[in-house]
Amino acid sequence: MPLSHPPKIAFVASNAPNAQEALGALTARYGQHAPEDAEVICALGGDGFMLGTLHRHGDLGLPVFGMKLGSVGFLMNQYQADGLVDRLHAAERSELKPLEMEALTESGMRHRFLAYNEVSLLRQTRQAAHLEISLNDQVRLEELVCDGILVATPAGSTAYNFSAMGPILPLGSSVIALTPIAPFRPRRWRGAILRADTRVMLRVLDPYKRPVSVTADSHEVRDVVEVRIVESQSHTVKLLFDPAHNLDDRILNEQFVI
């Protein structure tokens, strides 16, 4: 749905001093609406704050326009107070589907979270993790000895996944990345690119001697024995980007940085 002119904007900001200063200046200039009454959310901060904004307000179905006022801003536009209304109307939309993660712990508790970047399993002690990997209920790797493993969305493929030598995925490619973290055995396995609708199940083979935690974006669960991951079919968020710096171009540019 097109935005009105001027649109009803809900400004949200991180606690960083420069973000709070920008929040005051922008609300004085463009007004302020509660997210529930707005047409668009403008997030001021870094990528971490953007992810938090998506988790807090994603169910509203509003497009989100981020402006970088933090240390990392891959999901953000450049900060500029002037011309915001025109930028919002000219912005290009990128649709993101998060991952749905369900983790079962040693105590029998089940935890469910969304992840817009990645779901990552990590060893909790000096002992390497021993993991079994199943895809669509079929065991594909009986034992992976590693520091951990992650499943990344296209939007998250340039973050932790890329640091772990995983592939960068184009938006709209309908694939996800399965990337091991410091794999020891099998030595030649470096991960896989999967269809986005693949049901991934990661089972911890020795949870008592070799405990493992799982993190979905910023939500951590410790002492897990089994983690199931699938792309969400009921949650979608829309990010807005300046045409000269849209997310597709950023992902493409990352693949040519030397």
Q: Quick check: is 37 catalytic?
A: no
Was 118 annotated as part of a binding site? yes
User: What whole-number distance in Å separates Cα of residue 185 and Cα of residue 149?
Assistant: 13
The kind and range of the H/E element at 112 are: strand 110-115
**Catalytic position from the list 47, 82, 206, 249:** 47
User: What whole-number distance in Å separates Cα of residue 80 and Cα of residue 26?
Assistant: 10
Q: Characterize the bridge pairing of strands 110-115 and 99-105.
A: antiparallel
Was 253 annotated as part of a binding site? no
Was 236 annotated as part of a binding site? no
Token readout for 61 is 């179905």
Radius of gyration of the chain (CA): 20
User: What whole-number distance in Å separates Cα of residue 72 and Cα of residue 3?
Assistant: 28
Was 159 annotated as part of a binding site? yes
Was 246 annotated as part of a binding site? no
User: What whole-number distance in Å separates Cα of residue 119 and Cα of residue 161?
Assistant: 10
Was 163 annotated as part of a binding site? yes
Was 206 annotated as part of a binding site? no
Was 155 annotated as part of a binding site? yes
208: exposed, middle or buried (C-beta count within 10 Å: 0-12, 13-18, 19+)? Answer: exposed
DSSP 249: H
Was 30 annotated as part of a binding site? no
User: What whole-number distance in Å separates Cα of residue 223 and Cα of residue 134?
Assistant: 19
What contacts 177, CB < 8 A, 6 or more positions away? Answer: 150, 151, 152, 157, 161, 166, 167, 169, 191, 192, 193, 194
DSSP codes, 13-62: E-SSHHHHHHHHHHHHHH----GGG-SEEEEEE-HHHHHHHHHHHGGG--
Query: Which residues are part of the catalytic machinery?
Result: 47
- Binding-site sequence positions for NAD(+): 47-48, 117-118, 147, 155, 158-163, 182
